[in-house]
Copies of this chain bind each other. A is one copy, B any other.
Amino acid sequence: MARPRIDDAEERLLAAGLQLFARLGTERVNSNAIAKRARLGVGTFYAHFSDKYALLRALQLRTLAAIRAARVQALADAGPDPMDRVRASIAAVARFAEAHPEAYRVTFGRERTAAAAHGPIVSESSRPTAAALRELQARGLLAADLDVELAARAYLSMEVGMLLWWLEDKTRAQRAGLVETLSRLHPAAAAGPPVGG
User: Knowing A25-B116, A150-B162, A158-B157 touch, does A184 contact B177 (C-beta < 8 A)?
Assistant: no
Most buried by B among A143, A150, A189: A150
User: Knowing A156-B161, A157-B158, A189-B190 touch, does A150 contact B117 (C-beta < 8 A)?
Assistant: no
Count the copies: 4
Q: Range of interface residues on chain A?
A: 35 or more
Write out, one digit per residue, whether chain A residues 132-153 have a CB within 8 A of any chain B CB (1) or not (0): 0000000000010011001101
Q: Which 9 A-B pairs have the closest CB atoms?
A: A157-B161, A190-B190, A158-B158, A150-B181, A110-B113, A154-B158, A184-B191, A157-B158, A154-B162
Which positions in A face B, CB cutoff 8 Å? 25, 27-28, 109-110, 113, 116-117, 143, 146-147, 150-151, 153-158, 160-162, 165, 173, 177-178, 180-182, 184-185, 187, 189-192
Given contacts A110-B113, A151-B181, could you give 6 more A-B pairs where the C-beta distance is less than 8 Å?
A28-B117, A143-B184, A150-B177, A153-B162, A157-B165, A185-B190
- Residue pairs across A and B with Cβ atoms less than 8 A apart, 22 shown, are A25-B116, A27-B117, A143-B184, A146-B181, A150-B162, A150-B173, A150-B178, A151-B181, A151-B184, A151-B185, A153-B161, A154-B158, A154-B162, A154-B185, A157-B160, A158-B158, A158-B161, A184-B191, A185-B185, A189-B190, A190-B191, A192-B192
